[in-house]
Structures are given as structure tokens and as C-alpha cells.
């Protein structure tokens, strides 16, 4: 009976199909480049929705073996939605984006976290390829692969960014190439350079444009000054992010949705396909006014609060007992590794504990940076997400059956172990 003409509609400005092959979908791309034309346009103040595939473009299957993890080509991440033009936004402006909601697709109420040795921050020599599937029950999630744990999500867009100008793109490529140069002698790839392999733009574009984008487009792995792969759980619904505008129309891309993420995201968060509800406002000359060198965020009153934590600490001494130079990355790795070993005492496997570090609502905080040679990091594990008491007791932790993550099929694992390249992982901190 509601007949009012004043009802506001929420437009879905970008549609994708989370159940079909991404490489035939129009609204998807996986590189940053100023020549990717917008697929939609929104007005200032308009509330709009953007549908997103998971970062793998629907590659990962909801089952109990992890073979699909190895079949995934990391050159293909992230399958982003858009880009979207924001009316009136001009270079030098700041774009204020209200993150009004982030939800999974109603008919795809699950997500996944992957462990792919060599690509995460907490890999050990014995770390196995693994996958955990997470079911979404309203605001809560739990996994059949990790017993005894459930928690509220902090759904967010892992990636949200504006298009770089041609000049900025060049800056990115140059400085990252220079980094790779400095480390080439060690045989380490410190940054992923533009590569046609895996590159995709789902639009009918002239060949030369398409080729330019694929050949020169910046990779989406890192966050940069335009936003990008920020991977911040605090960017959950109710928050606002300020991004600089580099090209007319801002040309916004969104993707890599997470249902939940642990601070530091040492391996995959809970990755999902879903829908972001957004609203943009333009602050004229905002880059200069606000001094916007990197994204700024206004926190959300709706961010779930797990107040009670068991907090682990990590110093700049690595697991081999080697003193590293005052270094927060080592600190984070050590704090998380300490938390993992503690959880393993309750019966969790290494891979379960690892997955929890990347998915549960942990809080990793930077402690005293100048206290050479140990810059430490704390990692708070919320006590309430476990259905048993994890606080230290007289008797210490007692092990129980906690189920199992999905691993490779035996043959596949054998092959993987035989083939694996020994070597430093690309993300690892410098020595």
C-alpha cells in the first residue's frame, strides 16, 4: 500500500555474477590504469550499490579439499568491480566515501580463507596448503574446518581506490621497479610489476587501449596513496574513507570483499563475493586542504567491539633466535606466531591457528618503535570468540579435537612438495 513518490531507490550501479566465470564479465578489471573507462556514473550524495566477485573471481569452491588453491593464478588478483565515475570530482579533490554497508550475496552465504605457503606472513617450513570455508549466519560466522570458534564479522572492502593519473601510475612503476632493482641481487621479487599475464578488463575497448592497460596497468596487490588494497577491518560499515582524486570523475574501483579479517591479514581474510553500499561526497581541493598523502578514515560506531583480549607480544628476535634490527614486521610475525603456538596447545593445528590469525577479529598494535633493537608488536586475541576459556590457568591449556582444515588431496600434496621452490617468500621483510 505504500504509494509515496518520495521513496529513495538504491541503484545497483555495477552488477556481477558471483557464480560464473569472471573473464566474460563486463564490469570487472584487475589492474589500475587511467584508461579504463567507467562502467557507471553516480551523483554526489547518491546511495548506490556495487556488486563484487570474491578476489579470485569465483575460483575457489566450497568443499573440503584445497586443490583449487594451487590452481589459482595469483597474477589474476584482484577481480575489482567498476570503475565508477563520480560526477563533479576533479583532480586535486578529496572523495569522502561513506561505507554504508558491505554484505555477502544473499544466495552465497559463505567465504573462504587460503593458505598458500610462500605467500603469507607466518609461513613455516612445514606449513601446508590449506583452505577453510566460513559460513555466514547473519552477522556471525563460523567454519566447519575450525571447531569452537565463532565471531561477528567486520565486513569491508579490502580494495577501494581511485584511478591513478598517468603520471602517478608512472611514479608507482618507477619506484617499485627501483625497489626490485635494489634487491635483484638477492633474487627476491619485492614488488609485482605490470604483467600481461592474468590481466583482464571486461570491456570492449580498442586493441591499443586494452593492450596499454594490460601491459602497463599497476598491480592491485599493495595499497598505495589512492587507496587500493588497504585491507583494514576498521573500514567496516558505518565508517568513512577520504581518498585523493587524480583523474576527472575520480574513477572508483571496489572489490576484494572480506567478511572478517584479523589485523595484519597474514594470509587470506574471509574472502567473499558481495555487495557494497556506498555514498560519495566531493571536497573541493581536498588533497591540499587535508594534506591527503594516504587514505584517511573516520571510524565506525558500528565496528564490533571485543573488549576482552589475551595479548601476545613479538620482539625483533626471529624464531631462529636471530636478533633482527628493530623491526615491526618481525614483531608482528613473532606476536602472531606466539599466539598460534598458544592456540595449538588447545588442539588446533598449525593451519587452523594460521587461518584464525587472518580471519578472527584480532587487534595488532604497534608498541615502542625506538626501543632498539626490539620494536615490539602486540596481538590481542578476543577471548569471547572461543566456546571455551582460553585464558591461562594453573593447569595450562588442554588439547581437544578441533576438526581439520581442508588440505590438498594426497597425490596433489606429494606433487606440491616435490615441486615447491625453496626460497624466501616475496613478501618477507628485508634482512
State how far the Cα of 113 lies from the Cα of 132, in Å rounded to an integer: 5
Query: Going by C-beta distance under 8 Å and a sequence separation of 6 or more, which residues neighbour residue 398?
Result: 346
Q: How far is the CB of 399 from a copy of itself (least distance, A)?
A: 12
Q: What is the pattern of x (binds a copy of itself, CB under 8 A) and - over residues 364-383?
A: xxxxxxxxxxxxxxx-x-x-
Count of CB atoms situated within 10 Å of the CB of 242: 20
Cβ closest to a copy of itself, residue 199 vs residue 223:
223
Give the end-to-end CA distance of the chain in Å, rounded to a whole number. 68
> Which distant-in-sequence residues (6+ apart) come within 8 Å of 74 by Cβ?
116, 119, 198
Would you say 210 or 238 has its CB closer to a copy of itself? 238
Kindly indicate which of the ranges 33-41, 85-93, 201-209, 226-234 contains the residues binding a copy of itself, using the contact rule CB under 8 A. Answer: 226-234
Give me the least distance between CB of 418 and a copy of itself, in Å please.
25
Tell me phi and psi for residue 164, to 5 degrees. -75, 150
Query: Which window, 27-35, 81-89, 204-212, 224-232, contacts a copy of itself (CB under 8 A)?
Result: 224-232
Q: Give the residue from 297, 383, 306, 299 showing the smallest Cα distance to 346.
A: 383
Q: Please identify, among the stretches 198-206, 247-255, 280-288, 409-417, the one whose residues bind a copy of itself according to the rule CB under 8 A.
A: 280-288
Q: Which is nearer to a copy of itself, 196 or 308 (CB)?
A: 308
Binder among 40, 114, 121, 280 for a copy of itself (CB under 8 A): 121
Q: Which residues ranging from 48 to 87 are in contact with a copy of itself (CB under 8 A)? A: 58-64
- DSSP-derived 3-state class of residue 146: strand
- Distance (Å, whole) CA 29 – CA 32: 8
Among 124, 167, 170, 178, binds a copy of itself (CB under 8 A): 178
Among 284, 414, 415, 420, binds a copy of itself (CB under 8 A): 284
Within 304-363, the residues that bind a copy of itself by CB under 8 A are 304-315, 317, 321-329, 331-335, 338, 341-342, 345, 363
- Judged by CB under 8 A, does residue 98 bind a copy of itself? yes
DSSP state, residue 399? -
Which of 75, 91, 108, 203 is the binder for a copy of itself (CB under 8 A)?
A: 108
Contact (CB, 8 A) for 107 and 98: no
Greatest CA separation for the chain: 72
Query: Of 137-176, which residues contact a copy of itself (CB under 8 A)?
Result: 137-140, 144, 151-152, 171, 175-176
Alpha-carbon distance of 41 to 249, in angstroms, equals: 8
Instruction: Name the residue nearer to a copy of itself (CB basis): 209 or 317.
Output: 317
Q: Label each residue of 228-253 as H, E or C.
A: EECCCCCCECCEEEEEECCCCCCCEE
Amino acid at each position: 500500500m505504500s504509494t509515496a513518490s518520495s521513496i529513495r531507490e538504491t541503484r545497483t550501479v555495477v552488477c556481477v555474477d558471483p557464480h560464473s566465470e569472471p573473464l566474460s564479465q563486463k564490469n570487472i578489471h584487475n589492474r589500475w590504469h587511467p584508461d579504463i573507462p567507467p562502467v557507471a556514473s553516480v551523483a554526489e550524495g547518491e546511495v548506490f550499490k556495487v556488486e563484487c566477485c570474491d578476489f579470485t573471481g569465483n575460483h575457489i569452491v566450497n568443499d573440503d579439499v584445497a586443490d583449487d588453491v594451487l590452481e589459482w593464478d595469483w597474477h589474476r588478483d584482484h577481480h575489482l568491480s567498476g570503475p565508477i565515475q563520480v560526477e563533479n570530482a576533479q583532480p586535486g579533490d578529496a572523495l569522502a566515501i561513506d561505507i554504508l554497508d558491505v554484505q555477502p550475496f544473499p544466495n552465497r552465504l559463505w567465504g573462504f580463507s587460503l593458505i598458500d605457503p610462500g605467500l603469507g606472513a607466518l609461513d613455516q617450513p612445514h606449513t601446508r596448503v590449506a583452505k577453510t570455508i566460513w559460513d555466514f549466519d547473519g552477522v556471525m560466522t563460523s567454519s566447519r574446518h575450525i571447531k569452537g570458534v565463532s565471531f561477528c564479522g567486520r565486513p569491508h572492502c579490502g580494495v577501494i581506490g581511485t584511478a591513478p593519473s598517468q603520471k602517478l601510475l608512472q611514479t608507482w612503476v618507477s619506484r617499485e621497479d627501483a625497489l626490485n632493482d635494489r634487491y635483484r641481487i638477492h633474487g627476491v621479487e619485492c614488488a609485482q610489476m605490470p604483467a600481461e599475464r592474468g590481466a583482464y578488463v571486461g570491456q570492449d575497448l580498442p586493441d591499443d587501449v586494452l593492450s596499454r592497460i594490460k601491459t602497463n596497468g599497476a598491480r592491485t596487490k599493495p595499497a598505495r596513496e589512492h587507496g587500493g588494497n588497504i585491507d583494514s577491518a576498521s573500514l567496516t560499515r558505518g565508517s568513512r574513507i577520504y581518498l585523493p582524486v587524480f583523474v576527472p570523475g575520480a574513477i572508483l574501483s571496489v572489490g576484494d570483499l572480506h567478511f572478517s579479517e584479523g589485523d595484519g591479514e597474514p594470509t587470506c581474510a574471509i574472502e567473499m563475493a558481495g555487495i557494497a553500499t556506498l555514498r560519495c561526497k566531493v571536497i573541493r581541493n581536498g588533497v591540499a586542504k587535508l594534506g591527503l598523502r594516504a587514505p584517511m578514515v573516520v571510524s565506525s560506531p558500528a565496528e564490533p567491539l571485543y573488549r576482552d583480549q589475551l595479548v601476545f607480544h613479538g620482539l625483533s628476535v626471529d624464531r631462529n633466535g636471530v636478533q633482527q634490527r628493530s623491526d615491526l614486521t618481525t614483531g608482528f610475525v613473532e606476536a602472531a606466531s606466539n599466539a598460534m603456538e598458544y592456540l595449538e596447545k588447545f588442539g588446533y593445528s598449525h593451519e587452523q591457528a594460521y587461518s584464525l590469525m587472518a580471519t578472527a577479529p584480532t587487534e595488532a598494535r604497534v608498541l615502542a618503535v625506538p626501543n632498539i633493537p626490539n620494536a615490539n608488536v602486540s596481538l590481542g586475541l578476543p577471548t569471547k570468540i572461543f566456546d571455551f576459556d582460553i585464558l591461562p590457568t594453573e593447569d595450562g591449556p588442554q588439547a581437544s579435537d578441533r576438526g581439520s582444515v581442508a588440505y590438498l588431496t594426497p597425490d596433489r600434496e606429494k606433487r606440491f612438495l616435490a615441486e615447491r621452490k625453496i626460497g624466501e617468500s616475496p613478501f618477507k621483510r628485508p634482512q
